[in-house]
Amino acid sequence: MTPYQKGRWAEKWAIVILRLKGYKILAERFKTPLGEIDLIAAKNKRLVLVEVKNRTSRCEALSAISVFQQQRIVQAAKVYLSKYPRWLAGEIRFDVIAFWPWRWCHLKNAWNETGEI
């Protein structure tokens, strides 16, 4: 399996996990010139922007999200919010769903829009 296929596999499983947790998937692979958001979901008036990582260990998966990448996701989120301003009134959260062999975790509030973890 290529790295691209592994990434798509992880994104599809992340969708399943989020749906089972009661989230509605609003967008997959939301691309802008400023960055990309793997998944955009909503639950209880909360907008959740999700980065999905698939690595060989939990530590590797979580450390794969650099500050630069977080900033690009935040910039892409601003583009999304400019298209759908109704979400500005509610809570906005940046999450990570990480996969590694035979395990996964959903890290809520992984960072804020200023890039602080």
pLDDT tens figures, 63-92: 888 899 999 999 999 999 999 999 998 899
- Number of structural domains the chain divides into: 1
- Structural domain containing residue 48: 3-111
pLDDT score at 85: 94
Q: How far is CA 46 from the centre of its chain?
A: 14
* Residue 117 belongs to a domain: no
CATH of the domain at 82: 3.40.1350.10
Share of the chain above pLDDT 70, in %: 96
**94 C-beta neighbours (distance < 10 Å), count:** 24
- Within 8 A by CB and 6+ apart from 60, the residues are 100
Note whether residue 99 is domain-resident: yes
More confident residue, 90 or 1: 90
Mean pLDDT value of segment 2-22: 92
Round the average pLDDT of the chain to a whole number and report it.
91
Q: Strand, coil or helix: what is 16?
A: helix
pLDDT confidence bin for 14, thresholds 50/70/90:
very high
For residue 116, pLDDT beyond 60: no
Whether residue 98 is contained in a domain is answered as: yes
3-state secondary structure of 3: helix
Q: Does any domain span residue 74?
A: yes
